[in-house]
């Protein structure tokens, strides 16, 4: 097996093909000025981001998508403009620091408080997008759940109004 350098991996067509085979470019539009999210269809990690195997390392898909465009990973972190963890659209990812990430989260009211700490997987914008997709038809609870990194039963609870009233 030939080992590719990081820069070579970013240019390798087989790596890109394997990566983009796990991407749905028809995701929800959470911020109209950005256009649709490109959703990672691979298994999500507990935070909803997912992982991609690149050689002997595992990378976050949104960071790798950004690297495909820029030839390097966003440093030190890649922040989502769309606030959608499974999104891998490079234009929805920006470079920033951990402090930028905290400020962005606080400015957008996404800092968990009280009983929500560690519980909420979705935010209000994602719930609205889920309900719009479901109302348009053509999507099951399972497909919508997969798009947003939750189970079919979790999507059903949201879509039926049993959670996120």
pLDDT tens-digit map of 72-117: 888 888 899 888 889 999 999 999 888 888 788 777 766 654 334 4
d(CA 47, CA 60): 11
pLDDT single digits (tens) 2-18: 444 565 666 678 889 99
d(CA 23, CA 146): 12
pLDDT single digits (tens) 17-60: 999 999 999 999 988 999 999 999 998 887 788 899 888 888 99
DSSP string, 55-93: TTEEE-HHHHHHHHHHSS--SSEEEESS--TTB--GGGE
Strands (E), the chain: 23-24, 39-40, 52-54, 57-59, 77-80, 93-96
């Amino acid at each position: 097996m030939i080992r590719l350098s990081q820069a070579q991996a970013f240019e390798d067509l087989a790596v890109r093909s394997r990566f983009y085979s796990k991407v749905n470019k028809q995701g929800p539009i959470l911020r109209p000025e950005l256009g649709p999210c490109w959703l990672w269809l691979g298994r999500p990690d507990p935070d909803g981001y997912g992982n991609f195997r690149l050689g002997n390392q595992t990378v976050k898909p949104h960071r790798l998508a950004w690297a495909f465009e820029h030839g390097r990973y966003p440093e030190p972190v890649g922040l989502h403009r769309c606030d959608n963890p499974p999104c891998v659209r490079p234009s929805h990812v920006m470079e920033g620091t951990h402090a930028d990430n905290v400020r962005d989260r606080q400015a957008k009211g996404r800092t968990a408080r009280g009983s929500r700490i560690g519980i909420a997987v979705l935010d209000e914008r994602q719930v609205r997008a889920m309900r719009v997709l479901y109302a348009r038809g053509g999507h099951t609870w399972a497909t919508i759940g997969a798009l947003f990194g939750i189970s079919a039963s979790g999507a059903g609870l949201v879509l039926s109004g049993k959670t996120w009233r």
